[in-house]
Amino acid sequence: MTGHDRLTTPSIYQGREEEKDREGNTHSLSLSLSLFANKQTNKRILLLLLLLLLQYQRERVMSPNKIIINNNSSSSSSLGNADMPSSQSENGFISSFSLFPEKAVQELLQSPVQGDDHLIEFSEALRTVAKALRRVAEGKASAQAEAAEWKRKYELERARNLQSENRGKSCLELQADLDDMRTINPTNQPTLCNEANEKFERCCSSNGICSHEVLRNGNPDSDSKMVRKASFKLSWCSKGVQSDQHKHDIVSFERGNITTAERSSKQISLKWESSPQTVLILTKPNSVSVQILCAEMIRWLRQQKKLHIYVEPRVRVELLTESSYFNFVETWKDEKEISTLHTKVDLVLTLGGDGTVLWAASMFKGPVPPIVPFSLGSLGFMTPFYSEHYKECLESILKGPISITLRHRLQCHVVRDAAKNEYEAEEPILVLNEVTIDRGISSYLTNLECYCDNSFVTCVQGDGLILSTTSGSTAYSLAAGGSMVHPQVPGILFTPICPHSLSFRPLIMPEHVTLRVQVPFNSRSPAWASFDGKDRKQLAPGDALVCSMAPWPVPTACLVDSTNDFLRSIHEGLHWNLRKTQSFDGPRES
Ligand SMILES: NC(=O)c1ccc[n+]([C@@H]2O[C@H](COP(=O)([O-])OP(=O)(O)OC[C@H]3O[C@@H](n4cnc5c(N)ncnc54)[C@H](O)[C@@H]3O)[C@@H](O)[C@H]2O)c1
Ligand SMILES: Nc1ncnc2c1ncn2[C@@H]1O[C@H](COP(=O)(O)OP(=O)(O)OP(=O)(O)O)[C@@H](O)[C@H]1O
């Protein structure tokens, strides 16, 4: 039988993989083990199949990063069989095959067929093969999860280093201020030095988290004046009591007992240490009411608060069409300038609905300045500020302190089967609501293999899967039957979309895990990933999406505090548990 021959038993082996396997290029196998129950099956074909599996394994051992298997429903059920005999070959992928001589298989092929016992033996051998292959896939998922976790740690560490570098810088600058004061006014030295010393002390004190950054305005030619980014301090409150101690220690072991001393997620308060000077205003397009409010707000912020203002290029054009007065409004030219916006902007104001908040978040691929979302949309779940009262709101925000919700984001990597290394091809995408992997326009059931760190979670068969943040729990995930979760709860929601199974309940995973969703090689169609409802990307068979918590949350200002705002939104926006109250009239317990 040559490599181009086709197996005529249609149910054993599916066409596309079959061709590739025998050329030694296959990336996945489809094992429909239940089909072995068919007693008419040609035993020689089974033997050949085993031989192909051996060849396949040898290739994969040589290039392990190409191993991906398909657990279709029948193989999964076989694998879950507790009665499956345990043998030495089950202990590991390499040992299971390297000890199995090819010659013996050749002999088997040539030997006369000896009844059903043989068939059963083979069926079991193939189950073992499938199990071993799945272990390898799990190993790969685990390695990828670990790689993602290291990457996340590296990014966190880098962000921390940058932060401490900046802190160091500002301390140095305060030190420089101190030196300047000494030179300028030697007679007043003690008082001024004390002031500067105090500032210096405050900056470097270990309470809370300070942000001291002094940054140059983007265009050095425009004017030599320095625009300082406002400095602020974050502190954590518990049950209304302000505490400057920001502790990451969650568990303590006092007297040998495990207790939860501190919880990491508390109400966070932001206090300006210097006044904000630059705001970015982002607006929903094609809305006259938004355009009018935007122009009015800019005039007020400029005239009353003397602030620097950035808008999107589209909005600047609109403003200049209205009046040349808006010439002072700044914008950017390209993506590169967008990537440095966070170093210039103290506050982001959004005028629109939830989509505009998502848009604002998507502009910042790294750190995000605090966002103040004004409601000019229909639902406004994440937009608690009333646009009619913008002056009072902004007065209070610019003065501080502000309660903020730190909305966690997910970072998603599309890992192409064709890519040689993880993450080599595509930049990570950050989402505030969710990443959805669905069937797109295909009418076939999606088939998605899901892994969590090094464990197989499940195979999603249905319309798709939503991996959502807790902020996104009230969006698409809610519509698909997921639970509503307070946005300060750190976690990743795992919500199926129309699963074709009676027992598929949504899950909530802890925030530290890495999830991997893989399109199996024998999938009938590609899947589609979309990020906060945008940027659809095709996932071909063999491609995967790796998702973990991003180190850069989105801080959004609260009207009251994060719990009050969340509850108000589910009541007013979603009419949660709205029911007419039962009257007193009627039967009573005696
Ligand atoms: N069946 C569904 O419910 C469904 C389908 C597709 C997309 N979506 C959601 O739409 C989001 C994109 O929003 P858009 O405004 O750009 O598109 P859009 O204009 O289609 O609006 C989607 C709706 O979802 C609401 N929404 C968005 N984020 C929310 C959140 N975190 N909590 C509560 N409601 C929220 C918006 O207010 C809006 O009413 C996606 O991230 C997804 O969550 C929902
Ligand atoms: N600055 C922007 N540039 C381009 N698109 C934007 C911008 N702001 C918002 N959008 C897009 O416009 C669409 C509608 O925006 P948004 O959700 O804010 O308004 P809405 O639909 O009226 O409000 P709601 O979400 O409360 O129903 C969204 O898809 C969003 O991604």
Model pLDDT for residues 501-535, shown as the tens digit of each residue: 999 999 999 999 999 999 999 999 999 999 999 99
Average pLDDT over residues 176-196: 41
The CB-side HSE value for 503 (13 A sphere, CA atoms) comes to 2
SS3 for 170?
helix
Residue of 284, 287, 371 with the most ligand 2 atoms within 8 Å of its CB, for mutation = 284
Which residue, by CA, sits nearest to atom 22 of ligand 2?
A: 377
**CA 354 to ligand 1 center in whole angstroms:** 7
Distance CA(395)–CA(385), nearest Å, equals 13
Cis peptide before 506 (omega within 30 of 0): no
pLDDT at 153: 72
**Smallest CA separation from ligand 2 atom 30, residue:** 355
Return the number of other C-beta atoms located less than 10 Å from residue 237's C-beta: 15
Cis peptide before 401 (omega within 30 of 0): yes
Ligand 1 mean position, distance from CA 474 (Å): 9
233 CB neighbour count, 10 Å cutoff: 21
The reply to whether ligand 2 has any atom less than 6 angstroms from the CB of 526 is no
Q: Quote the ligand 1 centre to 475 CA distance (angstroms).
A: 5
443 CA to middle of ligand 1, Å?
Answer: 23
Residue 120: in which H helix or E strand, if any? helix 116-184
Contact 480 CB / ligand 1 (< 6 Å) = no
Residue 386 CA, ligand 1 centroid: distance in Å = 20
Distance CA 486, CA 480 (A): 17
Residue 341 has pLDDT above 80, yes or no: yes
Mean per-residue pLDDT over the chain, rounded: 76
Mean pLDDT, residues 142-150 = 74
Atom of ligand 2 nearest to the CA of 532: 31
382 in contact with ligand 1, CB cutoff 6 A: yes
**In the chain, pLDDT over 90 holds for what percent of residues?**
50
Q: Is the dihedral of CA 532, 535, 536, 538 positive or negative?
A: negative
Q: Taking 60 as the threshold, does the pLDDT of residue 128 lie above it?
A: yes
- Residues of the chain with pLDDT > 70: what percent? 64
Judge if the beta carbon of residue 348 lies within 6 A of ligand 2. Answer: no
Nearest ligand 2 atom to alpha carbon 315: 1
**Ligand 1 pocket, residue 17 CB under 6 Å:** no
The bound ligand whose nearest atom lies closest to the alpha carbon of 569 is 1
Q: At 501, which amino acid appears?
A: S
- Residues 518/332, Cβ–Cβ less than 8 Å: no
The token pair at 39 is 């007693």
Lowest mean pLDDT among 204-213, 461-470, 577-586: 204-213
Structure confidence at residue 371 as a pLDDT band (50, 70, 90): very high
Please report the pLDDT score of residue 119 as a whole number: 85
Asked whether residue 93 carries a pLDDT value surpassing 60, the answer given is no
> What's the length of the chain?
590
SS3 121: helix
Q: Which amino acid is at 542?
A: G
pLDDT of 564 = 97
Mean pLDDT along residues 559-578? 96
Task: Say which ligand is closest to the CA of 353.
Answer: 2
Alpha carbon of 354 to ligand 2 centroid (Å): 7
What is the pLDDT, as a whole number, of residue 364?
Answer: 97
Q: What is the whole-number distance in angstroms between the Cα of residue 431 and the centre of ligand 2?
A: 15
Q: Considering only 100-109, 139-148, 467-476, which range has the smallest mean pLDDT?
A: 100-109
Confidence of residue 420 (pLDDT cuts 50, 70, 90): low
**The most confident of 32-36, 37-41, 405-409, by mean pLDDT:** 405-409
Please confirm, yes or no, whether 417 is among the known catalytic residues: no
Pocket lining: 363 vs ligand 2, CB cutoff 6 Å = no
Burial label, 103 (beta-carbon count in 10 A; 0-12, 13-18, 19+): exposed
Could you say which ligand is closest to the alpha carbon of residue 477?
A: 1
Quick: pLDDT tens for 252-265.
666 667 776 656 56
Q: Would you say 123 and 39 are in contact if contact means Cβ atoms under 8 Å apart? A: no
Confidence of residue 147 (pLDDT cuts 50, 70, 90): confident
**Residue 526 and residue 539 in contact, taking contact as beta carbons nearer than 8 Å:** yes
pLDDT in tens, 423-465: 555 789 999 999 999 999 999 999 999 999 989 999 999 999 9
> Would the CB of 379 count as within 6 Å of ligand 2?
yes
Give the residue, by CA position, lying nearest to ligand 1 atom 24: 475
pLDDT score of 316 more than 70: yes
Q: Is the CB of 462 under 6 A from ligand 2?
A: no
The closest of 41, 138, 62, 56 to 102, measured between CA atoms, is: 56
- What integer pLDDT is reported at residue 28 of this predicted model? 35
Query: Is 433 close to ligand 1, i.e. is its CB under 6 Å away?
Result: yes
Mean pLDDT of 35-53: 52
Q: Indicate the SS3 state at residue 75.
A: helix
Taking 80 as the threshold, does the pLDDT of residue 44 lie above it? no
Query: Would you state the pLDDT for residue 323?
Result: 96
Determine contact, residues 409/427, Cβ cutoff 8 Å: no
Catalytic pick among 354, 438, 463, 543: 354
Ligand nearest to C-alpha 286: 2
